[in-house]
Amino acid sequence: MKEEVKKRGRWKENLGKFLIDIAKYIVTGVIIASLFKDVENEIFVYGIGFVLAASSLVVGLVLTNNIVEDK
């Protein structure tokens, strides 16, 4: 039973790390794209980029939270 919980915990932690990386890639992509190309609808691009990056960051941080209470 404990092994199954550990596996589930590792899976969640790895998914969380992946989502944090995705958030970094989204932010980097939006910034680099705006530097190299004149974006026509800046508010839309920055808004969608910010929402996607923030949501994946929050979900990633929640999944990597390793607080385990042993009783």
Cα separation of 50 and 37, whole Å?
18
pTM for this prediction: 0.74
Q: What pLDDT, on the 0 to 100 scale, is given for residue 23?
A: 95
Cα separation of 34 and 52, whole Å?
16
**pLDDT tens digits along 6-22:** 666 788 889 999 999 99
Q: What pLDDT, on the 0 to 100 scale, is given for residue 18?
A: 94
Q: What pLDDT, on the 0 to 100 scale, is given for residue 24?
A: 95
- The pLDDT tens digits along the chain (71 residues) read 556 556 667 888 899 999 999 999 999 988 888 778 777 888 888 899 999 999 999 999 998 886 555 45
